[in-house]
């Protein structure tokens, strides 16, 4: 039997996104003394800001935080645990001591402005009904507001969430409307959150190596094939008792044998810049406007979500009703989807499939026609790469038959909210613990009798392959026409 990893053993984490950062911080907090994190992107320069030139899902403007998780109470509990820590991050910042560059005492990274889940029908769908039920069981029924229930709405108003009940003025416009508001939810400023956790990790003793020189170039192995470290493009060797690969959508390229478990898929994002002087800026500010989702489990026709404006006036909308793939042959004879990023293909930096843009524009024209009516158009777009597991659960485990190698990945579109606490579970795994959420996050195979939540490996013939999608033309960024959902909306 191999001895467990000791707290003095060197541990190298590859990837400084949500999983890597959180793991690094929790390792040091647990008493590990030789922890190094590497990333090929220089986040000290870009500060995790997509607008400053980096590109990873963790490097973003904002991300939804929610505890309403339908039947999935594992994540509901995890989310409440994370929210306590998000609050402690806000407290840390407001104390104003020892802040990283790019953060000031006035910054609030976690904003509890509510998460509104807009539904396609008046009868609440299963997921929303289960959220109410499971929040009730957790003693949090008060946080769930059915917008058509007077009693619930009164309660939301008393709690200061009146603004979040009908933020698109559907009733005023005589449009049918149903939604469940989760007043425990909201969003975090993602770039600032990563910046803070990187800083806390450094303070806790993590060695940080960022930039192109830190790009992975190969493993170090002993004669039995066990991993004993890794090498980087900068010709440096990092010996390690354990290597944890946390490279998001790039993980499958680095960890062999994972393609049955995870695939990277592109989510589409569009941003409308609303100048601070514009009347809509105040209306869509976080104190007047919630985070929202629209028909999240309704396939291609739904899967929209969005945020209030940020301090630069960026009003962000995402579409994940169809997630795209980019199957490529990268030389190891295996075709797999790989992220298209601004650095791997500069021309693609802002282009999303026309189909996705049509869905986003359609939503905006139906729900926020005021944008087009006041001369605002979509300012830029982005493809942002998920690493989806077949069942939407994360993957935190040792790699079978590769001693010394672990993965922490499979965010499947919902890992950002766990930045403060996911690392705790990675460290539990490293320390040989099991049970609880770790049982969901094992290295696993799809049981033949089960249907995957996400179908993986469709390849180039798939309609979702970017090779088969038309990317939009600039004139499609104009709002105010008739397109997509605008014509089709049932609600
Ligand atoms: C469009 C979109 C919307 C989302 N919305 C939400 C949301 O609202 N709420 C939520 O909770 N979650 C959300 N998520 C999910 C969440 O953002 C991700 O699960 C999480 O950020 C993934 O973190 P990660 O550490 O796995 O990967 P990443 O953020 O991809 O980080 C991986 C890192 O590895 C580095 N790397 C890659 N290859 C190498 C290499 N060869 N050498 C060195 N370094 C390397 C990269 O530079 C990168 O920094 C969303 C995701 C997407 C795509």
Q: What is the rounded distance in angstroms from the CA atom of residue 12 to the CA atom of residue 397?
A: 15
Q: Which residues line ligand 1 (CB under 6 A)?
A: 14-20, 38-41, 56-58, 63-64, 214-216, 246-250, 254, 267, 269, 318, 384-387, 409, 411, 413-417
- What's the whole-number mean pLDDT along residues 299-321? 96
Strand-pair category, 186-189 with 62-65:
antiparallel
Ligand 1 centre distance from Cα of residue 346 (Å): 19
Q: Is the pLDDT of residue 482 over 80?
A: no
How many angstroms separate the alpha carbon of residue 474 from the centre of ligand 1?
28
User: Which tokens sit at 456?
Assistant: 């993986």
| pLDDT at residue 484 greater than cutoff 90 | no
> What kind of fold does domain 1-112+185-261+390-451 have according to CATH?
FAD/NAD(P)-binding domain (3.50.50)
- The pLDDT tens digits of the residues spanning 237-256 come to 999 999 999 999 999 999 98
User: Looking at the predicted structure, is the pLDDT value of residue 488 above 50?
Assistant: no
Q: Please report the atom of ligand 1 found closest to the CA of residue 305.
A: 8
Best of 219, 416, 418, 419 to mutate for ligand 1, by most ligand atoms within 8 A of CB? Answer: 416
The ligand 1 atom nearest the CA atom of 63: 8
Nearest alpha carbon, ligand 1 atom 41? 216
Burial class (CB in 10 A: 0-12, 13-18, 19+), 407: buried
Write down the architecture of domain 262-388+460-488 according to CATH: 2-Layer Sandwich (3.30)
Alpha helical stretches, state H, 327-435: 354-367, 369-373, 422-430
pLDDT score, position 222: 97
Task: Identify which of 116, 326, 411 to mutate to test ligand 1's pocket (most ligand atoms within 8 A of the CB).
Answer: 411
Q: How confident is the model over 86-105, as a mean pLDDT?
A: 96
C-alpha 60 to ligand 1 mean position (Å)? 9
pLDDT for position 480: 80
Average pLDDT, the chain: 94
CB atoms within 10 A of CB 155: 17
Percent of the chain with pLDDT over 90: 90
The residue to mutate among 261, 389, 413, having the most atoms of ligand 1 within 8 angstroms of its beta carbon, is 413
Q: Do the beta carbons of residue 126 and residue 70 sit within 8 Å?
A: yes
Centroid of ligand 1 to alpha carbon of 324 (angstroms) = 16
- Domain(s) labelled CATH 3.30.9.10 in the chain stretch across 262-388+460-488
Beta bridge partners of 276: none
Mean pLDDT over residues 130-146, rounded? 97
Mind listing the pLDDT tens digit for each residue in 22-80? 999 999 999 999 999 999 999 999 999 988 889 999 999 999 999 999 999 999 999 99
Q: What is the dihedral of CA 491, 281, 414, 105, to 10 degrees?
A: -160
Q: Which two tokens stand for residue 115?
A: 């998460």
Residue 339 CA, closest ligand 1 atom number: 30
pLDDT of res. 481: 57
Helices (H), 393-465: 422-430
User: CA distances (Å), 132 to each of 70, 81, 182, 285, 450, in order?
Assistant: 8, 19, 9, 27, 27
CA distance 491 to 483: 16
The residue whose CB lies within 8 Å of the most ligand 1 atoms, and thus the one to mutate among 22, 41, 217, 248, is 248
C-alpha of residue 146 to centroid of ligand 1, in Å: 32
Give CA–CA dist 455/336, Å, rounded. Answer: 13
pLDDT class of 415 with cuts at 50, 70, 90: very high
- Token pair for 25: 């911080």
User: How high is the pLDDT of residue 349?
Assistant: 53
Supply the pLDDT for residue 485: 45
* Percent of the chain's residues with pLDDT above 70: 95
pLDDT of residue 172: 93
Which ligand 1 atom lies nearest to the CA of residue 266? Answer: 53
- Asked if the model's pLDDT at residue 325 lies above 70, the reply is yes
Residue 12 binned pLDDT confidence (cut-offs 50, 70, 90): very high
The reported pLDDT for the residue numbered 288 is 98
Q: How confident is the model at residue 1 (pLDDT cuts 50, 70, 90)?
A: very low
Smallest CA separation from ligand 1 atom 16, residue: 416
The atom of ligand 1 lying closest to the CA of 386 is: 53
Pocket test for ligand 1, best of 57, 215, 253, 308 (most atoms within 8 A of CB): 57
Our mutation pick for probing the ligand 1 site, out of 47, 409, 415, 425, counting the most ligand atoms within 8 A of Cβ, is 415
Q: Which residue has its alpha carbon closest to ligand 1 atom 44?
A: 39
User: In angstroms, rounded to a whole number, what is the distance separating the alpha carbons of residues 339 and 238?
Assistant: 26
What band does 351 get if pLDDT is binned at 50, 70 and 90? confident
Could you tell me where in the chain the CATH 3.50.50.60 domains are found? 1-112+185-261+390-451
pLDDT tens, position by position, 173-226: 999 999 999 999 999 999 999 999 999 999 999 999 999 999 999 999 999 999
Instruction: State yes or no: pLDDT of 291 exceeds 80.
Output: yes
Among 339-343, 395-399, 480-484, where is mean pLDDT lowest? 480-484
**From CA 177, how far away is CA 255, in angstroms rounded?**
46
Expressed in angstroms and rounded, the spacing between residue 98 Cα and the centre of ligand 1 is 26
Residue 182, CA distances (Å) to 39, 82, 124, 335, 397 in order: 35, 16, 14, 41, 32
Q: Is the dihedral of CA 393, 394, 396, 399 positive or negative?
A: positive
| Dihedral sign of CA atoms 352, 354, 356, 359 in order | positive
Q: How far, in Å, from the CA of 134 to the mean position of ligand 1?
A: 28
The pLDDT score that the predictor gives to residue 2 is 63
């Amino acid at each position: 039997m191999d001895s467990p990893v000791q707290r003095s053993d060197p541990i190298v984490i590859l990837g400084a996104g949500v999983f890597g950062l959180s793991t690094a911080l929790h390792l040091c907090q647990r008493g590990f003394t030789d922890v190094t994190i590497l990333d090929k992107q220089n986040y000290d320069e870009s500060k995790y800001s997509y607008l400053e030139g980096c590109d990873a899902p963790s490097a973003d403007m904002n991300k939804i935080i929610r505890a309403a998780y339908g039947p999935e109470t594992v994540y509901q509990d995890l989310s409440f645990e994370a929210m306590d820590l998000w609050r402690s991050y806000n407290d840390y910042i407001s104390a104003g001591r020892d802040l990283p560059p790019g953060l000031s005492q006035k910054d609030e990274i976690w904003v509890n402005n509510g998460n509104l889940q807009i539904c396609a029908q008046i009868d609440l769908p299963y997921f929303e009904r289960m959220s109410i039920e499971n929040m009730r069981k957790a003693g949090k029924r008060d946080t769930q507001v059915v917008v058509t229930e007077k009693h619930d709405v009164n309660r939301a108003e008393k709690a200061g969430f009146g603004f979040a009940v009908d933020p698109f003025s559907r009733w005023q416009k005589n449009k049918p409307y149903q939604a469940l508001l989760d007043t425990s939810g909201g969003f975090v400023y993602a770039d600032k959150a990563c910046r803070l956790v990187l800083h806390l990790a450094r303070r806790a003793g993590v060695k940080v190596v960022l930039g192109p020189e830190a790009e992975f170039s190969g493993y170090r192995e002993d004669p039995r094939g066990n991993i004993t470290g890794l090498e980087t493009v900068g010709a440096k060797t990092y010996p390690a008792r354990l290597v944890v690969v946390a490279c998001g959508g790039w993980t499958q390229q680095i960890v062999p044998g994972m393609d049955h478990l995870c695939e990277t898929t592109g989510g589409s994002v569009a941003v409308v810049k609303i100048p601070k002087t514009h009347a809509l800026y105040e209306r869509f500010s976080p104190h007047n406007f919630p985070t929202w989702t629209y028909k999240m489990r309704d396939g291609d026709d739904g899967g929209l979500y969005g945020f209030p404006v940020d301090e630069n006036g960026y009003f962000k909308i995402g579409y994940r009703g169809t997630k795209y793939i980019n199957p490529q042959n990268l030389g190891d004879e295996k075709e797999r989807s790989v992220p298209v990023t601004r650095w791997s293909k500069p021309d693609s930096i802002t282009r999303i499939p026309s189909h996705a843009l049509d869905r986003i524009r359609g939503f905006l024209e139906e729900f926020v026609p005021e944008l087009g009516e006041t001369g605002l158009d979509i300012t830029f777009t982005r493809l942002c790469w998920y690493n989806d597991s077949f069942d939407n659960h994360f993957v935190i485990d040792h790699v079978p038959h590769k001693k010394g190698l672990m993965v922490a990945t499979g965010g499947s579109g919902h890992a950002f909210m766990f930045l403060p606490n996911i690392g705790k579970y990675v460290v539990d795994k490293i320390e040989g613990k099991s049970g609880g959420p770790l049982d969901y996050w094992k290295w696993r195979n799809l049981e033949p009798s089960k249907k995957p939540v996400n179908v993986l490996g469709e390849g180039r013939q798939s309609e979702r392959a970017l090779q088969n999608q038309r990317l939009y033309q600039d004139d499609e960024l104009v709002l105010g026409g008739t397109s997509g959902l605008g014509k089709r909306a049932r609600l």
